[in-house]
């Protein structure tokens, strides 16, 4: 499904969690090729940092070799001077990747998080599906149901399709439907929600009645889901613009991996 994956690597504890989840998600996502991108950002290095740069390059080469051996797939390393977000997006475009993976290292509500977090800026700008793995990863069970958060709108159709493909014929899943009181539900949207449940007897469907971010994150924790799937409406060329209140809230606060699928 996601043949070629591009993952941002910064050698942090957050990356260690991404690496661990990749091993578990190879079969689920159908990953057959992996490119690791390390952006040597100018504001994080000094003019005399030649030794440190060399060490980071060698570290990347070692991680590539280790993952290639452990995963049994083609793994490439891409060491680039520049900022993380454009470097990852540019590499994904050039490599014709199907998926981007990144760690979310902070759940802070501060302005610094809102303006500068790599995961959230990728979420706003990426045209590809984005897997966000939180550094404070909660309890995960790989056999637990996958969770789809949706409002059944046309913009969520691609996420719904992705969720159905990930479930396959036998896997259990949970769908949490978010109702927007300001949005009049169309007949096609009702049909879309009903078709998902009708095609999978192992599916539990719930309607969110309270705060959608709180309820979805709580449900994900309760079932120890290995993946929350949700859609987003388009892309924002300016990283600081909001992603959308529910999608951004889930990306910021979930302690389960989140797969964000653009419309």
Return d(Cα 137, Cα 221) in angstroms, integer: 10
Tell me the helices (H) and strands (E) count for the chain, helix number first. Answer: 9, 10
DSSP 14: H
Return d(Cα 37, Cα 244) in angstroms, integer: 27
pLDDT at 110: 45
The token duo for 228 is: 């929350």
pLDDT at 238: 44
Tens-digit pLDDT string for the chain (263 aa): 899 999 999 888 788 888 888 888 888 999 999 999 999 877 665 555 677 888 899 999 999 999 999 999 999 999 999 999 999 999 999 999 999 999 887 555 443 444 348 888 898 899 999 999 988 888 899 999 999 998 887 778 899 999 999 998 788 999 998 876 555 555 455 555 556 556 667 888 888 888 889 999 999 999 999 999 999 876 554 444 444 678 888 888 899 999 999 98
pLDDT at 3: 94
Least Cα distance to 99 among 174, 25, 12 occurs for: 25
Least Cα distance to 171 among 138, 191, 149, 148 occurs for: 148
β-strand partners of 6: 35, 100
Angle between helices 84-94 and 118-125 (to 10 degrees): 40
Global confidence as pTM: 0.86
Task: Name the strand (E) or helix (H) holding 66.
Answer: helix 50-71
pLDDT at 17: 82
pLDDT at 242: 42
Least Cα distance to 84 among 109, 67, 98, 103 occurs for: 103
Return d(Cα 109, Cα 107) in angstroms, integer: 7
List all residues 6 or more positions away from 208 whose beta carbon is below 8 Å from its beta carbon. 176, 177, 178, 179, 215, 216
């Amino acid at each position: 499904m996601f043949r070629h994956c591009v993952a941002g690597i910064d050698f942090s504890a957050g990356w260690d969690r991404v690496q661990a989840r990749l091993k578990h998600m190879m079969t689920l996502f159908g990953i057959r090729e992996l490119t690791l991108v390390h952006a040597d950002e100018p504001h994080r290095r000094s003019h005399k940092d030649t030794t440190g740069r060399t060490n980071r390059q060698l570290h990347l080469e070692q991680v590539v070799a280790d993952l290639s051996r452990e995963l049994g797939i083609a793994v490439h390393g891409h060491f680039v001077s520049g900022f993380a977000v454009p470097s990852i997006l540019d590499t994904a475009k050039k490599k014709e990747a199907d998926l981007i993976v990144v760690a979310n290292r902070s759940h802070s509500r501060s302005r610094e998080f809102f303006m500068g977090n790599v995961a959230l800026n990728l979420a706003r700008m990426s045209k590809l599906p984005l897997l966000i793995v939180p550094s404070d990863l909660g309890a995960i069970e790989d056999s637990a149901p996958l969770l789809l958060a949706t409002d059944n709108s046309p913009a969520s159709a691609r996420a719904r399709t992705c969720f159905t493909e990930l479930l396959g014929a036998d896997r259990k899943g949970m769908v949490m439907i978010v109702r927007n009181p300001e949005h009049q539900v169309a007949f096609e949207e009702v049909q879309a929600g009903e078709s998902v449940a009708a095609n999978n007897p192992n599916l539990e469907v719930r309607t969110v009645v309270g705060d959608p971010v709180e309820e979805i994150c709580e449900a994900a924790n309760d079932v120890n889901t290995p993946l929350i799937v949700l859609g987003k409406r388009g892309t924002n060329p300016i990283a600081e613009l909001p992603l959308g209140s529910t999608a951004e809230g889930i990306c910021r606060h979930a302690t389960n991996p989140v797969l964000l699928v653009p419309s």
